[in-house]
Structure 1
Amino acid sequence: MTLHTRLAAAVLVVTTMSTPPTFGDEGMWLFNAPPLQALKERYNFTPTQAWLDHVQKSSVRFNSGGSGSFVSATGLVMTNHHVGADDLQKLSTPEKNYLRDGFRAKTPAEEIKCKALELNVLQSIKVVTDEVNAAVAPGLPAAEAFKARQAKIAEIEKANADPKKGVRADVVTLFAGGQYHLYVFKKYTDIRLVFAPEKDIAFFGGDPDNFEYPRFDLDICFFRVYEDDKPVKPEHYLTWSPAGSKEDELIFVSGHPGRTNRQNTVAELEYLRDTGYPYLLQRLNRLEVLIGSWSERTAQNRQRGEEELFGIKNSRKARIGGLQGLLDPKLMGRKVEEEKRLREFIAQGKFDGAADAAVAFDAVAKAEKKRAELIKDVTLFENGSAFNSGFFGIARTLLRATEEKAKPAGDRLREYAEARLPSLEFRLFSEEPHYDDFETLKLADSLTLLATSYGAGDPLVQKVLAGKSPRERAFELVSGTKVKDVDFRKKLYAGGKEAVDAAHDPMIELAQLVDAKSREVRKEFETLVDEPKRQAYSALAKARYAMNGASTYPDATFTLRLSFGTVKGFKEDGKDVPAFTTMDGLYERSKDQGNKDPFELPKRWVEKKDKLDLKTPFNFVSTADIIGGNSGSPVINKAGEVVGIIFDGNIQSLVLDFIYDQEQARAVSVDSRAIIESLRKVYEAGDLADELQGKAK
């Protein structure tokens, strides 16, 4: 794809300061702008367009927040156990705990249909920057500019979506508003569980080993995609490498990194360091104590809260690592130098748009100051942290959907745009379980947070609590709501605003009570933070293109990206850390820790030890540039064959949110050879191993 014409023109007039912007194997590259030159220069390899198309259409996005890939001709999808954990928990019963004990379907009839799981496969990419920008007249006030842009985006998405054929269309914002691309997906909603190992081996080492290396985790999970009650037969799927990977080999990662902040100005990084991350960590610590204590009370509590607690712990550890990076003078010093270089280039005024770029830094700084002022209101009200309950989320979705659907496209909240409604309805009407006791616990704590944040005497707080303690009010809301019934939701959704208003449901009434405040805060944030930053970063993106040429990539946006690197160990505290671990290391690690939780091996792994080739590579590290959201991404070789699957980064990789570092930061993968060895010799799942290896039945 060609770049936006004005950006390309800007590049042509620049002859100075063209130092490449990337370092080593840095880059989360767009599939329509792959790093062909870098790959050719560094590794003497140039992927063909057919290779790129094949990898793109073999890659899968999980709406639960991870990545995966088609790995067989009959719709088998591979991802991580921790990506599939939410679905494992939803499918579990008091008698069968699939998250803890694992699952295997020995026949197609035993494959279990998931609840509310949607998979997306990217089919095409089209640059629509000019169309979107043309909808915003020069000099338009921020609020009107935001509305005009959203209307055009909704129009483009609606014109390219086809819900009846399972076609989803999303306009993706890249370079913080510097570009807009239309991503058209094939959407699948009939997803069935095929295999998952026990959690004790999928997350061996637990929280102590999380983000560490060496690792010994079989973090895998397999699903199958169905359409019309039959397994799909994808045209594109990844085949299995017969030999796995080796030290210094070039590998690729195709996945959906969630969010990075590498192009942020120093002012925005300072906001994250001083305000954003500390505030988030306070809430994560609070929730970890709350749910952790509750989970320890009974086995049932642990089963119900296990997956949410894992996510909280994982986020807490990741944000601590990110905050440490922001507090590192060397890292921030590098960001300051990068910004200084860009400022000096802009000051030369040698490209179209230099005047807008010159004022962009101040615009971002002003927006970040406003963001700090709004963080409490946005977090507690619009983001719903003051009403932490799945039932509240359902109630607010019903309330807003029936209001938003009646509005013109340009006036709607974006998540209620016409093209997005099928996915919203799929989630809204799912049969996923909610538990009254767990919902009451979380809601009571969040109402306490609301009261202590604004004061018990605040008028809105008093209306929310309705003369009761947070615990009493939470119990009243959870026990009294009917939104837990799917048929009730469908009736209100079909009946529109009148039906919702007449429902007299306590949780819906709570959503109605706080919605005006939530919408007010959201509008203020969109107008005074989002839109000014969008325009400022768009100007800075043009400046970066002018300075560096096209050899750059946008920050991660949970859209499909291609990363590359080599299988390589690293040094830590002066010691060499090898690239690979092996199966015998798993048993040694367990023995050294007394085979106690979280280093306790599942029974079958103890019993089948003598069946295994203990020299089989288990996990490995590479220099590939990844971040949260890449979990479940396939790791492939130059032939496009699977050699592993991403499941983590090491502790040194947590700064990758802000800056790339190849010296120690590593992506951690499960080795493809360990997957086959485990399936055949531990789980006696030879049929599944045969399917992965393309062996005829």
Structure 2
Amino acid sequence: MKKFFLLVLPFYLFTCLPIKADEGMWTLYNLPNAVYETMKQENYELPYGALYQGDDAIKNCVVNFGGYCSGVVVSPDGLVFTNHHCGFEAIRSHSTVEHDYMLNGFVSNSYEEELPNKNLFVSFMVEQKDITAYLNSLGLDKIAEGKRSHFVDSIENVMLKEIEKQDSTLRVEIKPFYEGNQYYLTTYRDYNDVRLVFALPKSMGKFGGETDNWMWPRQTCDFSVFRIYVDPKTGGPAKYSKDNVPMKAKKWAPVSLQGYVPGSFSMTIGYPGSTSRYLSSYGIKERRDADNEPRYKTREVKQNIMIRHMRADEAVRIKYDSKYAQSSNYWKNSIGMNKCIDSIGLIQQKAQFEQKIRQWQDSTGFLKGKLDFAKLEQLYQKRFKAVRALTFYSETFGRRNTDEMTRRAVRVQNGAIINGKDGKPKSHYIEFKNNSDEWDYDTDREILAALLKHYREQVEVKYQPDFFNVIDHDFKGDYQKFVDHIYKKSKLMKSDKKIYVNKKGYHKDPGVVYGESLVSTLADIQADIVETYDSIEVLERYLCAAKLRMEEDMPNYSDANFTMRLSYGQVGEYLLAGQPSGYYTTAESIVEKMDKASQIIDYEAEPIMKELLSVKDFGKYTDKTTGKMHLCFLSNNDITGGNSGSPMFNGKGELIGLAFDGNWDSLSSDIFFDKQLARCIGVDIRYVLYMMESWGKADRLLKEINAK
């Protein structure tokens, strides 16, 4: 399993309330028969084996897109649909002021025009199985908590080497399920030549921006198109080469123009990232106050600066578009989740359920003396300040979209970028390539100065880096002057130049000193968390085990952990402020929003878009039931981050849309799934195809997809 820097907080699993028919993120290989029978009652028409077994299984057209999203193969030549926001960075990376694909969109008219993308890959799941018994036979169940992860990693490495001997295109992952009560082995095949084929202008691919993010109604045409390329000789995965050819897919999703009605079966299959539905009431309080609150407070500081500079300069906008989008998404999510936690009294609900487990435990003796709720509460209280400080630290200094100075200063400290000859310390050097196309000098410096001030105001002195004393003493408390000094004087900001790490003066470099101070502070925070980490992990695992045993007559699913999952439900509306929300949006509704663009910048779009969506007849893309052009629709599928780009199938296994968001009213669903409120927002596949045809003139792609 992959190692993560200890900026990542512990992750827990599932819900503490009885399961409902449409709740769940189910693994496909062992889908409970009770779940399948319910799916059939809700008009799923395919046999049980159609999901997982054989070359024609639905799982074989669903992909892990880039390690952060989901996608679906929609043609025999390896064409992949995912969300626009999933392809955002690929689109941005090809954009320049002269050829701005973010602003103007991109349409390839031949294979030769499709654009390769560095470090972008898709993965297909080949197989999955439970190996808990095998790991326990090797001694996992007897290993101390702090050594379990290392033990599992070592087994994974052995298995990885073994499978690579059999087939070099395969890899394996071992991940914990059910809070570490079970472990599954998943085999994947990765394809590393993935090319951009089609993208709408950002005005449509992100229509509504932050104004509409996590909200309903939506009109966002959130899709982009890529293609998988393979070795022309083997037909298998290969690194990028101009000689590679489009993949010949064994399975692709048939695309349907038939639409849906309220109550229509809807199924998503994708890669949900992380949920915490088994998390204790004490853990939820920590999530609310020590994780979500510091996150949205810090992100708001840097986003306000980013957007001001982006609106003032097109070149800056291109550099920061992706960073801003990544930051703002979970800024708003954290705010919404906290509001939902409080509005439904979730902490109190969990506490009541834990009392029920206590009573059951007293009557059965299960885990008596091991599952200690009082101890769990005490441990969470003990680490609260450190976890809160860690989130502020992570959001200020540890995120991928932090300022360039901090990024370089921290990378230097981990030693991974030191070059030179072994055994000859004087030859050791670091060198940063010129990446000025990724960040802006003025924007970066202002962000860092503001973040330093904010961190100091929010975090207790115990967890503040000692460079704050330098700011006070040498710069009279002026954060901007301090930042300007290290940007100007530090050799770390000199690109394409060797910086020798063992020469005199290196450790006096202001950027190096800054990085050393950061790493020292992180170690202090981590030390206070490590004291309780293992004990909390054990007790949360016992809590999960108790729930599973108490409800052993019910099907239970594991929390999301970015492995393939199935969710099923129905198309339908919900009550929004006491009124029916409607289950779809129309072309008329986006035109109405476009007319408000002078007041709301997120509703701006090119005149051609308004023209295309104002026509009277949308032909074959018109819904036969309503007589309208549907843009987006609602279902009660169970989704979370990572599900973006997940295919939405009807009961016949045909593609009817792409999942791209959840609704504001259920942002606590990562912790608790509320069937009355939780909704998945999908872009209608007919809207996708209409825009490909009317705006993109992408006849070759539409013919390839061959929608029915």
8 Å contact 2:463–2:521 — kept in the other structure?
no
Q: Which residue of 1 aligns with 2:79?
A: 76
* Matched residue SS, 1:619: strand
Helix, strand or coil for the counterpart of 2:195? strand
1:375-402 Cα distance to aligned partner (Å, 9 max, x none): 2442355676378335544554464364
Q: Which of 486, 511, 531 matches 2:515?
A: 511
Q: Which residue of 2 aligns with 1:356?
A: 370
Contact 1:451–1:461, Cα closer than 8 Å, also in 2? no
Structure 1 residues 386 and 393: alpha-carbon distance in aligned structure 2, compared to 1, 3 A threshold: closer
Contact kept in structure 1, 2:272 and 2:643, CA below 8 Å? yes
**1:12 maps to which residue?**
none
Q: Is the 8 A contact 2:290 2:391 kept in 1?
A: no
Distance of 1:327 and 1:160 partners within structure 2: 45
Contact 2:506 2:512 in 1 (8 A): no
DSSP 3-state at the match of 1:522: helix
- Alignment match, 1:412: none
Whether 1:39 aligns to 2:45 is no
Matched residue, 1:194: 197
Correspondence 1:571 to 2:575: yes
Call closer, same or farther: CA 1:454–1:374 in 2, change over 3 Å.
closer
Match of 1:7 in 2: none
Separation (CA, whole Å) in 1 of partners of 2:436 and 2:126 = 29
Residue of structure 1 equivalent to 2:4: none
Q: 3-state SS of the aligned residue for 1:628? A: coil
Q: What letter is aligned with 1:257?
A: P
Task: State whether structure 2 residue 445 is matched by structure 1 residue 448.
Answer: no
Residue 250 (1) aligns with residue 265 (2): yes
* Structure 2 Cα separation of the partners of residues 138 and 50 of structure 1: 35
Alignment-derived partner of residue 410 in structure 1? none
Aligned residue among 279, 301, 306 for 1:286: 301
Counterpart residue identity of residue 447, structure 1: L
Change in CA separation of 1:210 and 1:517 when aligned onto 2, cut-off 3 Å: closer
Give the match for residue 426 of structure 2: none
Structure 2 residue corresponding to 1:96, chosen from 96, 99, 121:
99
- The more displaced of 509-518 and 80-89 is 509-518
Match of 1:671 among 684, 690, 693: 684
Residue of structure 1 equivalent to 2:427:
none
Tell me which residue corresponds to 1:308. 323
Q: Which residue of the partner structure matches residue 598 of structure 1?
A: 602
2:560 is matched with 556
- CA distance in structure 2 between the partners assigned to 1:631 and 1:179 by the alignment: 26
CA distance in structure 2 between the aligned counterparts of 1:607 and 1:694, rounded to whole angstroms? 24
Closer/same/farther in 2, CA of residues 156 and 504 from structure 1, 3 Å limit: farther
Match of 2:251 in 1: 236
Contact map agreement 1:24 1:662 (CA 8 A) in 2? no
Q: Secondary structure of the equivalent of 2:85? A: helix
1:285 CA displacement: 2.2
Give me the whole-angstrom Cα distance separating, in 1, the residues matched to 2:550 and 2:484.
58
Q: Percent identity?
A: 23
Structure-2 separation of matches of 1:121 and 1:484 = 40
Contact persistence 2:266–2:569 (CA under 8 A): yes
Q: Is the 8 A contact 2:268 2:567 kept in 1?
A: yes
**Matched AA of 2:152:** K
Q: Structure 1 residues 390, 575: CA separation in 2 closer, same or farther (over 3 Å shift)?
A: same
Q: Contact between 1:386 and 1:446, CA under 8 Å: does it hold in 2?
A: no
> Aligned partners of 1:512 and 1:234: how far apart in 2?
50
Give the 5 Å matches for 1:449-464.
Answer: 449-452=454-457, 453=459, 460-462=466-468
Report the RMSD for the aligned CA atoms in angstroms.
3.7
Q: Show the counterpart of 2:221.
A: 218
Residue 49 of structure 1 is matched in structure 2 by 49
1:177 aligns with 2:190: no
Aligned to 1:149: 149
Which of 123, 126, 135 in structure 2 is aligned with 1:123?
126
- TM-score, scaled relative to structure 1: 0.82
Structure 1 residue aligned with 2:438 = 433
Matched with 1:87 is 90
Instruction: Name the structure 2 match of 1:471.
Output: 480
Give 1:527 shift: 4.5
- How far off is 1:262 after superposition? 1.6
Q: Which amino acid aligns with 1:460?
A: D
Q: Which amino acid aligns with 2:68?
A: G
Matches within 5 A, 1:493-508: 507=511
Q: Which residue in the other structure is 2:430 paired with? A: none
- Post-superposition offset of 1:568: 1.0
Aligned counterparts of 1:377 and 1:663: Cα–Cα separation in 2: 35
Q: Specify the alignment match of 2:69 in structure 1.
A: 66
Provide Cα deviations, 1:137-196, integer angstroms capped at 9, x if missing partner. Answer: 7787xxx63135323323324532549935443321222222222223222332221111
Q: 1:400: which partner in 2?
A: 414
The 3 A distance-change label for structure 1 pair 510 and 461 is closer
**Cα shift readout 1:291-343 (whole Å, capped 9, x = no counterpart):** 23333332333332233223333222222221112112544443333222222
Distance 1:430 1:118 in 2: 22
Partner of 1:318: 333
TM-score, normalised via structure 2 length:
0.81
CA distance, structure 2, for counterparts of residue 153 and residue 237 of structure 1: 34
1:587 corresponding residue in structure 2: 591
Query: Which residue of the partner structure matches residue 691 of structure 1?
Result: 704
Residues 622, 137 of structure 1: alpha-carbon distance in 2 compared, 3 angstrom cutoff: closer
Distance, in Å, in 1 between the alignment partners of 2:483 and 2:181 is 44
The AA in structure 2 aligned to 1:689 is L
2:208 paired residue number: 205
Equivalent residues of 1:481, 1:506 under 8 A apart: yes
Q: Aligned residue for 2:160? A: 160
Q: Which runs of 5+ in 2 are unaligned?
A: 1-15, 231-237, 420-432, 623-627
What per-residue deviation string (whole Å, max 9, x for no partner) do you get for residues 201-240 of structure 1? 1222232222222221111011122234323333333221
Matched, 1:660 2:673: yes
Paired AA for residue 446 in structure 1: L
Given residue 663 of structure 1, which amino acid in structure 2 is its aligned partner?
Q
One-letter code aligned to 2:480: R
The 3 A distance-change label for structure 1 pair 232 and 430 is farther
Which of 281, 288, 292 pairs up with 1:266? Answer: 281
Is the 1:647–1:670 Cα contact (8 Å) retained in structure 2? yes
CA 1:119 to 1:363, structure 2 compared with 1: closer, same or farther past 3 Å? farther
Hey, what does 2:27 align to over in structure 1? 30
Shift of 1:104: 1.2
Q: Which moved more, 1:449-458 or 1:575-584?
A: 449-458
The 1-side partners of 2:309 and 2:105 are apart by 23
Please show how residues 404-419 of structure 1 align to structure 2 within 5 Å: none
> Contact 1:171–1:181 at 8 Å: present in 2 too?
yes
Output the amino acid matched with 2:300: N
- CA distance in 2 between counterparts of 1:570 and 1:138 reads 45
Code of the aligned partner of 1:283:
T
SS at match of 1:81: coil
Classify 1:569/1:126 alpha carbon distance in 2 versus 1 (closer, same or farther; 3 Å). same
8 A Cα contact 2:662 2:678, kept in partner = yes
Any idea what SS the aligned residue of 2:519 has? helix
| DSSP 3-state at the match of 1:150 | helix
Q: Which amino acid aligns with 1:340?
A: Q
Q: Higher mean Cα deviation, 585-594 or 287-296? A: 585-594
Q: Where does residue 663 of structure 2 map in the other structure? A: 650
Alpha-carbon distance in structure 1 between the residues aligned to 2:509 and 2:705 = 50
1:594 CA drift (Å):
6.3
Q: In terms of mean alpha carbon deviation, does 147-156 or 245-254 score higher?
A: 147-156
1:348-367 per-position Cα deviation (integer Å, ceiling 9, x unaligned):
2254x34423x1x3343233
Count of residues paired in the alignment: 644
Deviation at 1:442, TM superposition (A): 3.0
Q: Could you say what secondary structure the match of 2:466 adopts?
A: helix
Q: Residue type of the partner of 1:23?
A: K
When structure 1 is superposed on structure 2, of 236-245 and 519-528 the one drifting more is 519-528
Q: Secondary structure at the match of 1:624?
A: coil
Q: Structure 1 residue 605: deviation in Å? A: 1.7
In 2, Cα distance between equivalents of 1:324 and 1:396? 34
